[in-house]
């Protein structure tokens, strides 16, 4: 079977990663087979390059990978940045301060290229840092030459929803606010999305969009799914995303990505 010319891009949390933050062996076996058959696998994640790298070591992606929700394209094979966009520090700091003052229980993080900076710690921030498994520092970044790629606000679901609603009450040129889980709201550069990054990745690597499959489970994957030639969600995705997708596969705990690869193989026999 020849799957050359096909790019499969997968979200990590809730999609590739299963229960207890472990990738099901079915997924790993299927990805290895898919790439042996000529296909190219890549990840698309809100995680940083270093955090995503833990899963790149397991899957050995050949395609350009999307990190920090579309602010970075990274080649894990060559260990190099392919493209990036970042926040304007002056305006980003103003918007962060607004949410900091309005929502005193929200945990707040800044993401730079290799480090997470903690503006305000909370139980959700501590949990998130444990999942990321990368270095972090207390206090905001102080080096003006160090780009800020995104900010993350973490709180209970109803407070996260309130933060998202509040962000719509004031103009914020240059940035966009995106819900990435029931507890996390992210501030990204206005031009950043997994979808925009996917289009750029396909252009850089020479893939036709009709041969690009994308799978994701949450609303920060919406643009990724819209941009792909074939959009796929796992069973654990919200119902409205399932209605919009071209294909629904099994639950992430049981190996949703393996299900998709088996479908790709059926289509291209």
pLDDT exceeds cutoff 90 at 156: yes
Which of the 8 DSSP states describes residue 171? Answer: -
Question: In this predicted model, which residue has the larger pLDDT, 39 or 127?
Answer: 39
The reported pLDDT for the residue numbered 116 is 92
C-beta separation of 224 from 194 below 8 A: yes
- Asked whether residue 70 falls in the same domain as residue 100, the answer is no
**3-class SS of residue 261:** helix
Query: Are 93 and 181 part of one and the same domain?
Result: yes
Residue 158 pLDDT > 80: yes
Residues 88-114: what's their mean pLDDT? 95
pLDDT of residue 141 exceeding 90: no
Residue 183 belongs to domain with CATH number: 3.30.1240.10
Please tell me the distance from the alpha carbon of residue 63 to that of residue 117, in angstroms, as a whole number. Answer: 29
In a domain, residue 15? The reply is yes
Q: Tell whether the model's pLDDT for residue 133 goes beyond 80.
A: no
Average pLDDT over residues 63-81: 96
Whether residues 115 and 152 share a domain: the answer is yes
pLDDT at 65: 98
Please tell me the predicted confidence (pLDDT) of residue 114: 80
Angstrom CA distances, 228 to 5, 13, 118, 218, 225, stand at 14, 19, 34, 15, 5
Residues 178 and 93 in one domain: yes
Domain assignment present for residue 213? The answer is: yes
Which string of DSSP letters, residue by residue, matches 188-242? EETT--HHHHHHHHHHHHT--GGGEEEE--SGGGHHHHHHSSEEEE-TTS-HHHH
Total domains in the fold of the chain: 2
Are 179 and 104 in a shared domain?
yes
Confidence of residue 1 (pLDDT cuts 50, 70, 90): confident
| Residue ranges making up the domain that contains 221 | 7-84+193-267
2 within domain boundaries: no
Please say which residue of 145, 169, 189 terminates a domain.
189
pLDDT of residue 150: 96
pLDDT in tens, 206-256: 999 999 999 999 999 999 999 999 999 999 999 999 999 999 999 999 999
User: Do 177 and 103 reside in the same domain of the chain?
Assistant: yes
CATH no. for residue 72? 3.40.50.1000
Inter-residue contact 247 to 260 (CB < 8 Å)? yes
Contact 251, 23 (CB under 8 A): no
As a whole number, mean pLDDT of residues 173-187 equals 94
Per the CB < 8 A criterion, the answer to whether 10 and 16 are in contact is yes
Q: Per-residue pLDDT tens for 183-207?
A: 999 999 999 999 999 999 999 999 9
What's the whole-number mean pLDDT along residues 144-157? Answer: 94
């Amino acid at each position: 079977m020849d799957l050359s010319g096909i790019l499969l891009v997968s979200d990590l949390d809730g999609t590739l990663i299963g229960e207890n933050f472990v990738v099901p062996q079915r997924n790993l076996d299927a990805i290895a087979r898919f790439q042996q058959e000529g296909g190219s696998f890549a990840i698309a994640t809100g995680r940083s390059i270093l955090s995503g790298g833990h899963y790149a070591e397991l899957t050995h992606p050949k395609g350009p990978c999307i990190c920090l929700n579309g602010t970075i394209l990274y080649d894990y094979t060559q260990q190099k940045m392919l493209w990036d966009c970042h926040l304007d520090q002056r305006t980003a700091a103003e918007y962060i301060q607004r949410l900091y003052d309005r929502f005193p229980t929200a945990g707040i993080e800044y993401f730079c290229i290799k480090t997470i900076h903690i503006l305000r710690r909370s139980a959700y921030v501590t949990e998130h840092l444990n999942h990321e498994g990368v270095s972090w520092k207390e206090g905001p970044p102080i080096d003006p030459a160090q780009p800020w790629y995104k900010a993350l606000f973490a709180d209970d679901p109803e407070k996260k929803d309130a933060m998202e609603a509040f962000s719509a009450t004031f103009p914020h040129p240059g940035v966009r606010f995106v819900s990435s889980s029931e507890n996390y709201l992210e501030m990204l550069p206005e031009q950043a999305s997994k979808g925009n990054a996917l289009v750029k990745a396909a252009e850089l690597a020479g893939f036709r969009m009709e041969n690009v499959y994308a799978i994701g489970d949450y609303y920060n994957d919406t643009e990724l799914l819209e941009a792909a030639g074939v959009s796929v969600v796992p069973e654990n995705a919200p119902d409205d995303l399932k209605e919009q997708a071209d294909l629904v596969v099994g639950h992430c705990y049981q190996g949703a990505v393996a299900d998709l690869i088996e479908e790709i193989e059926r289509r291209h026999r």
